Chains A and B, each alone.
Chain A
Amino acid sequence: MKYPFPVGKSDFIQGDEAIARAAILAGCSFYAGYPITPASEIFEAMALYMPLVDGVSIQMEDELASIAAIIGASWAGAKAMTATSGPGFSLMMENLGYAIMTETPIVVVDVQRSGPSTGQPTLAAQGDVMQAIWGTHGDHSLIVLTPATVQEAFDMTIRAFNLAEKYRTPVILLTDAEVGHMRERVNIPNPEDIELVYRKLPANEEEAKYPFGDIHGDLIPPMPIFGKGYRTYVTGLTHDERGRPRTVDAEIHRKLVERIVNKIERNKEDIIDFEIFELDDADVAIVSYGIVARSAIRAVKMLRNEGVKAGLLKLNVVWPFDFEMIEKVAERVHAIYVPEMNLGQLYHLVKEGANGKARVELIPKIGGEVHTPQEIVKAVKRCEKCI
C-alpha cells in the first residue's frame, strides 16, 4: 500500500497531524468530524489523506452525528475515528454511552481546550478528565489515554485503535491544544513494523448468535459485523446475550453491565501504561499525565538539585486507574503532588488510591498555560516547608 506521507523515517509535524497519520497507519478507514479548534487539523489531515487511501472522510452536521456515523461505520466493519474538543465532546456523551452499551470499537480524540462552555478555544487545559471517564450516564467503563509529546500522540493513537479492537470498546485519546498544535520530530515506523490488532469475528454461525455473550470466557464477545448474513440486532436498550431487548430483568442488566465494566477492569494489567522517573528512593512523588508531565520531569530534576528527593509517576493511561499502584507509591513517600491544568480532577483518584498512606496535594493551574517546572518546584517546596 502507498501512503500519502513519508513512512519509515522521521518528520517534523504537529500533534494533530501525527494523530491523523497514525490513524491511517492503524488501519482507520472511516473518519467523521465537525470543525472545532484545536482539533480541526486532525480532520483536515484526514480529509486530505482518506480519499487517497480509499477511506472515507466526511463532515457531519454536528458532533452528535460525527460519533453516530463512526459507530455505524464500525458495525459495517471499518476501523473508525472522530476528533473534537470540549464543546463537541460534551455533545458526544450521548452516543459514547451507546458505543459502550453496544460494545462498538471506536476511537474518539478529545483535544482539550479551556472550558467550561466555549471558554478559551485556542488554549490548552486538562478539564475533561472526569468527563472522559464518567461523562456519559449510567454505569460503565472505557479506556482513556493521555499523550505528553507528539511522538506519544502518534504511538498512542495506534494503541487506541488496537485496544478498541481488542476489547470491543470506545477508546478516548485525551490530549490537549498544546500537544495538538506543537511541532516535534516524530519517528514514523514502516507500516510492516507496526503491530495491528483486529476485532474478533464470529468463527461460525453458532458464535454469531451471541453478539453480546461471553462465549469465550474472556468477557469479550466476537463482533458479528453487518452484511455477512449474521442478522445481528444491536440496541442501546439492556439486552441479553443474543442482543434481544430485556429491559425489566435485573439479572440480565446486572450481567451485561458488569461484563462491560469487568472486561476493562480485569484486563487492567494489559491496558495500563506508565513511566517512572527517579521514584525508587523518592521522599515525594509527583503524579502527572499528558502535557504537564513534561514540566514535571524537569521539576523532579530541579528538586533533586535542590536537595529534595523527588520522583515522578507519569500516567499514560488514566482509565482504567491503578489505585493499588498509587497506594504502593504512597507507602514509600510522605507526599504525592498532582499538578493538573484544572482545579482538581485526577487528584481525587490519586487521593483515593493513596488511601491515607501519604499526603496528596493538588497543584492546580487554569487559564490556558502549562505549569512551568519552576511553578511545580515552588509549590512542592512551599508545601514541604509547611509541614
Chain B
Amino acid sequence: MQIRLAGVGGQGVVLAGVILGEAGAIEGLNVVQTQDYSSASRGGHSTADVIISKEPIYDLIVTKADVLVALAQLGYSTTKGSLKKEGLLIVDTDLVKPDREFIGAPFTRLAEEKTGTALTVNMVALGYLVAKTGIVKKESVEKAIGRRVPKGTEEINLKAFRVGYEEGLR
C-alpha cells in the first residue's frame, strides 16, 4: 500500500510519515519511508511517502498512491497527480479545495480546539487516516508516537492522534 502525505514545511508531515512507517515496522511489515522537501525549513512544499507491504519492497517513492493525505493546498496541487484514480483522498477541509472526490475533516481547526495548538495537525490527520484505512493498528501507532515525538510532548501528540482517530470513526 502506497500512502503519500503532503503539506507545507512546519506541518510535520515527515514526522507523521515516520510514525506511520514505524508503526508498520512494529507490526513486522516491510516499510519504506522517504521524503521530499524544498531547502526552506518552513513554508515550502513537504511530502512524506510511506510504502507498507508484507512483500519485499523495491519501490522508493510513491508513484501510484492508494491514499493521499493533503494538509495544505500547495501540498495538494503538487501531488494530486500521483493519486490513483480509485485512490482515497483525505484533506483538511478548511484548507484544501480538491477537484475530485474526497473525505476529510478540518484537521488544523480540530488540533487547535482539542489540543490547544495547531502544531499537532499531523497527528490529528494521522489518526483519521488510520481509522479510515486500518492499514496499521491504533496501538502500534501509539507505540510509535511514544518513540518518535520530542520528549515531553508524548501526551499532547497522543491526544491529537486520538482526536483524529475518533473523527475518522464517526
B29-46 interface code vs A (CB 8 A; 1 in, 0 out):
111111100010000000
Chain A residue at minimal CB-CB distance from B144: A12
Is A295 within 8 A of B58, CB to CB?
yes
Evaluate contact between B59 and A183: CB separation under 8 angstroms: no
Q: Tell whether B1 is near chain A: CB-to-CB under 8 Å.
A: no
- Residues 157-205 of A contacting B (Cβ, < 8 Å): 178, 181-185
Known: A12-B21, A298-B58. A181 touches B32 (CB 8 A): no
Q: Is the CB of B58 within 8 A of A183?
A: no
User: Are B34 and A373 in contact, CB atoms less than 8 angstroms apart?
Assistant: no
Pairwise interchain contact A297-B58, C-beta atoms closer than 8 A: yes
Q: Does A122 contact B (CB under 8 A)?
A: yes
Q: Select one of A183, A298, A370 contacting B33, CB under 8 A.
A: A183
A370 to B59, CA, bound (A): 10
In the assembled complex, the Cα of A10 lies from the Cα of B24 at a distance in Å of 12
Say yes or no: is B60 at the interface (Cβ < 8 Å to chain A).
Answer: yes
B33 adjacent to A184 (CB under 8 Å): yes
Residue of B nearest to A372 (CB): B63
Q: How large is the interface on A (under 10, 10 to 19, 20 to 34, 35 or more residues)?
A: 20 to 34
Chain A, 336-383, CB within 8 A of any chain B CB = 369-370, 372-374
Contacts of B33 in A (CB 8 A): 12, 182-184
Question: For the complex, is A294 an interface residue (Cβ under 8 Å from B)?
Answer: yes
Nearest CB in chain A to that of B19: its residue: A12
**Interface positions of A from 286 to 339, Cβ below 8 Å from B:** 291, 294-295, 297-298
The answer, among B18, B26, B39, B61, for a CB contact under 8 Å with A183, is: B18
Query: Chain B residues near A370 (CB, 8 Å)?
Result: 60-61
Q: Taking chain A's interface residues, is the majority helix, strand, or loop, or is none over half, making it mixed?
A: mixed
Are B60 and A184 in touch, CB under 8 angstroms? no
With both beta carbons as reference points, the residue of chain B lying nearest to A291 in the complex is identified as: B60
Query: Residue among B18, B60, B63 with the most chain A CB within 10 A?
Result: B60
Q: Are the CB atoms of A182 and B60 closer together than 8 Å?
A: yes
User: Cβ of A294 and Cβ of B58 under 8 Å apart?
Assistant: yes
Q: Which residues of A contact B34 (CB under 8 A)?
A: 178, 181-183
A183 adjacent to B31 (CB under 8 Å): yes
- The answer, yes or no, to whether B25 is at the interface (CB within 8 Å) is yes
**Interchain CA distance A181-B32 in the complex, whole Å:** 11
User: Do residues A294 and B31 form an inter-chain contact, with CB atoms below 8 A?
Assistant: no
Distance (whole angstroms) from the CB of A150 to the closest CB of chain B: 9
B92 within 8 A of A: no
Q: How far is the CA of A10 from the CA of B32 in the complex (A)?
A: 14
Bound together, the chains give a CA A5 to CA B26 distance in angstroms of 16
Contact assessment for B31 and A12 in the assembled complex, using a CB-CB cutoff below 8 Å: yes
Give the complex CA separation of A234 and B122 in angstroms. Answer: 57
Across the two chains, which residue of chain B brings its CB closest to A10? B25
Determine whether the beta carbon of B32 is less than 8 Å from that of A184: yes
A122 neighbours in B (Cβ, 8 Å) = 39
Contact of B142 with A by CB under 8 A: no
Which among B18, B30, B60 is the interface contact of A178 at CB below 8 angstroms?
B60
What is the distance, in angstroms, from A236's C-beta to the closest C-beta of chain B?
A: 39
- Which residue numbers of A lie inside 8 Å of B, CB to CB? 10-12, 121-122, 178, 181-185, 291, 294-295, 297-298, 369-370, 372-374
Interface residues, chain B, with chain A CB atoms under 8 Å away:
18, 21-22, 25-26, 29-35, 39, 57-61, 63
Q: Which 5 A-B pairs have the closest CB atoms?
A: A12-B25, A183-B33, A185-B25, A294-B58, A298-B58
What are some 25 contacts across the A-B interface (CB < 8 A)?
Answer: A10-B25, A12-B18, A12-B21, A12-B26, A181-B35, A182-B33, A182-B34, A183-B18, A183-B21, A183-B32, A183-B33, A184-B30, A184-B57, A185-B25, A185-B30, A185-B31, A295-B59, A295-B60, A298-B58, A369-B61, A370-B61, A372-B63, A373-B58, A373-B59, A374-B63
- Known A183-B18, A183-B21; 14 more pairs at CB < 8 Å: A12-B21, A12-B25, A121-B39, A182-B32, A182-B60, A183-B34, A184-B32, A185-B25, A185-B29, A295-B60, A369-B61, A370-B60, A370-B61, A372-B63
